[in-house]
Amino acid sequence: MSRNFSEKDLTLALAGCLRQASCELPEDVENALRAAMKNEAAGSLALSILVTIVQNVELAKTQQQALCQDTGLPAFYVSYPQGLSTRRIAACIEHAVVVATEAGYLRPNAVDPVTGLNSGNNLGTRIPYTVFTESDEPEIRIDCLLKGGGSENVSVQYSLPDSRIDASRDLEGVRRCVLDSVIRAKGNGCAPGILGVGIGGDRITGLQTAKEQLFRRLTDTNPDPVLDDLERSLLERSNALGIGPMGLGGNTTLLGVKIGTAHRIPASFYVSVAYMCWACRRNSLRFPL
């Protein structure tokens, strides 16, 4: 069955989706920030930082301006029904990225690593990053993620066993990797953050799995009770480390930990941590056909 769609309509809808992603923090993240305020002492720097963050979230939404200036390298996860041209969808995505950049909702972030030149429109080699998956739904669904460089820089991949942190190939080893990553990030990457963790896989699928966890709502539960337990205990332990908002001390270091797995090869055991700042800008477009 061949299907058709209007490229203009999809481009416009997607440009709108990017604007909203850039200007409006997802509700679950905003709620988590507000809830965190109750855990910080009156008069503390931690509380004043959280208040500033929440004020900024409100301002960005009412003024429709990019809530953080670093809109990252936009990533798109597309599901589409059988028979649709992924090349045409990719062209719409590129066009929408250019439109959103010109309008000031995305910062031009694509820099040639050799010449140092910024392409100016967020297009470049392997940018935007797009993943296509065929689905049975009669719609195009595009999930997008804007993840800034500060948080990307503190993302990290461990190879177990890791003698630096005495971590072996078991869940305790995984725990140590995750906590070590939180300590190493300190406040960089704009704490409070959200961790996407990938256990297993190879260098690529491990980090992909980690990053994909960032699409999960903070309020969800992991269907695997063992991982759900680990998510909760890591969140609690991280927040007891005292790192706090922006690393300046406090009880709110993370807003969530989300863990996924991928099968590994016997020789490798990776633990991948995709660190996301509080500005976890994700959005989803459903485009019926």
Q: CB of 210: closest distance to ligand SF4 in angstroms?
A: 16
Member of 52, 86, 168, 219 binding another protein (CB under 8 A): 52
Q: In the chain, what's the furthest Cα-to-Cα distance?
A: 63
Closest CA to 153 of 90, 72, 33: 72
Q: Is 46 one of the binding residues for another protein (CB under 8 A)?
A: no
Regarding 69 and contact with another protein (CB under 8 A), the answer is: yes
Q: Are 194 and 127 in contact (CB under 8 A)?
A: no
Nearest 5°: the CA angle 187, 190, 196 is 95
- Edge-to-edge strands, sheet with 193-200: 156-159, 270-276, 193-200, 254-262
Nearest to 146 by CA among 211, 62, 57: 211
Please give the structure tokens belonging to residue 276: 């996301």
Residue nearer to ligand SF4 on the CB measure, 15 or 276: 276
Residues numbered 131-170 forming contacts with another protein, rule: CB under 8 A = 148-150, 153
Structural tokens at position 285 = 């477009």
Minimum CB separation of residue 253 from ligand SF4 in Å reads 14
Q: How far is the CB of 12 from another protein (least distance, A)?
A: 19
Selected from 92, 190, 197, 259, the binder of another protein by CB under 8 A is 190
CB neighbours of residue 93 within 10 Å: 22
**Residues contributing to the site for another protein (CB under 8 A):** 45, 49, 52-53, 55-56, 59-60, 63, 65-71, 103-104, 106-109, 111, 116-118, 120, 148-150, 153, 175-176, 179-180, 182-183, 186-190, 237, 241-243, 245-249, 277-279
**Residues contributing to the site for ligand SF4 (CB under 6 A):** 68, 70, 148, 150-151, 189-190, 277, 279
